[in-house]
Amino acid sequence: MYATDTFQEPDMDQHIFKQDVHNKWISDWQFFTTDDTMTVSDLDDSFEGLKLPKKVIDKIYKTNAEKIFIKAWK
Protein backbone atom coordinates (compact mmCIF):
# COMPACT_ATOMS: atom_id res chain seq x y z
CA MET A 1 0.00 0.00 0.00
CA TYR A 2 1.34 3.42 -0.93
CA ALA A 3 2.00 5.90 1.84
CA THR A 4 4.57 8.46 2.84
CA ASP A 5 5.88 9.65 6.17
CA THR A 6 5.41 13.27 5.14
CA PHE A 7 4.01 15.52 7.83
CA GLN A 8 3.20 19.19 8.16
CA GLU A 9 4.98 21.27 10.76
CA PRO A 10 2.56 23.56 12.64
CA ASP A 11 4.19 26.73 11.26
CA MET A 12 4.57 25.44 7.67
CA ASP A 13 2.67 27.26 4.93
CA GLN A 14 -0.24 25.06 3.80
CA HIS A 15 0.31 25.80 0.10
CA ILE A 16 4.01 24.91 0.28
CA PHE A 17 3.15 21.70 2.14
CA LYS A 18 0.56 20.72 -0.48
CA GLN A 19 3.08 21.37 -3.27
CA ASP A 20 5.75 19.29 -1.48
CA VAL A 21 3.32 16.38 -1.04
CA HIS A 22 2.25 16.63 -4.68
CA ASN A 23 5.88 16.67 -5.89
CA LYS A 24 6.68 13.62 -3.75
CA TRP A 25 3.67 11.74 -5.13
CA ILE A 26 4.67 12.57 -8.74
CA SER A 27 8.26 11.47 -8.11
CA ASP A 28 7.14 8.20 -6.53
CA TRP A 29 4.68 7.60 -9.38
CA GLN A 30 7.47 8.17 -11.92
CA PHE A 31 9.74 5.74 -10.05
CA PHE A 32 7.11 3.00 -9.90
CA THR A 33 5.64 3.37 -13.40
CA THR A 34 8.53 4.30 -15.70
CA ASP A 35 12.07 3.26 -16.45
CA ASP A 36 13.17 6.91 -16.62
CA THR A 37 16.59 7.79 -15.30
CA MET A 38 16.11 9.66 -12.05
CA THR A 39 18.16 11.44 -9.40
CA VAL A 40 17.55 12.39 -5.77
CA SER A 41 19.54 14.55 -3.40
CA ASP A 42 20.24 11.59 -1.08
CA LEU A 43 22.26 9.69 -3.72
CA ASP A 44 25.38 10.64 -5.65
CA ASP A 45 24.35 8.61 -8.70
CA SER A 46 21.31 8.30 -10.93
CA PHE A 47 19.00 5.26 -11.01
CA GLU A 48 16.21 3.91 -13.19
CA GLY A 49 12.56 3.65 -12.34
CA LEU A 50 11.05 0.21 -11.78
CA LYS A 51 8.43 0.30 -14.59
CA LEU A 52 6.16 -2.04 -12.64
CA PRO A 53 3.26 -3.76 -14.42
CA LYS A 54 -0.18 -2.09 -14.14
CA LYS A 55 -1.46 -4.93 -11.96
CA VAL A 56 1.26 -4.23 -9.38
CA ILE A 57 0.70 -0.46 -9.53
CA ASP A 58 -3.02 -1.03 -8.94
CA LYS A 59 -2.21 -3.12 -5.86
CA ILE A 60 0.14 -0.47 -4.47
CA TYR A 61 -2.18 2.48 -5.01
CA LYS A 62 -5.65 0.94 -4.76
CA THR A 63 -6.36 -2.75 -4.19
CA ASN A 64 -4.37 -3.24 -0.98
CA ALA A 65 -5.89 -0.10 0.59
CA GLU A 66 -9.39 -1.20 -0.35
CA LYS A 67 -8.83 -4.56 1.38
CA ILE A 68 -7.61 -2.85 4.55
CA PHE A 69 -10.46 -0.33 4.66
CA ILE A 70 -13.11 -2.93 3.90
CA LYS A 71 -11.82 -5.07 6.80
CA ALA A 72 -11.84 -2.03 9.08
CA TRP A 73 -15.50 -1.32 8.32
CA LYS A 74 -16.68 -4.87 9.01
5 is a domain residue: no
Q: How far apart are CA 27 and CA 31, in angstroms?
A: 6
3 is a domain residue: no
- What domain range is 42 assigned to? 21-73
Q: What is the pLDDT along the chain (74 residues), one digit of tens a residue?
A: 888 888 899 999 999 999 999 999 999 999 999 999 999 999 999 999 999 999 999 999 999 989 988 888 87
57 is a domain residue: yes
32 is a domain residue: yes
Cα 28 to Cα 10, 11, 59, 70, 71, distances in angstroms: 25, 26, 15, 25, 27
58 is a domain residue: yes
27 is a domain residue: yes
Q: Are 38 and 49 in contact (CB under 8 A)?
A: yes
What is the per-residue pLDDT for 57? 96
40 is a domain residue: yes
16 is a domain residue: no
Please state the domain count of the chain.
1
What is the per-residue pLDDT for 53? 98
What is the per-residue pLDDT for 4? 84
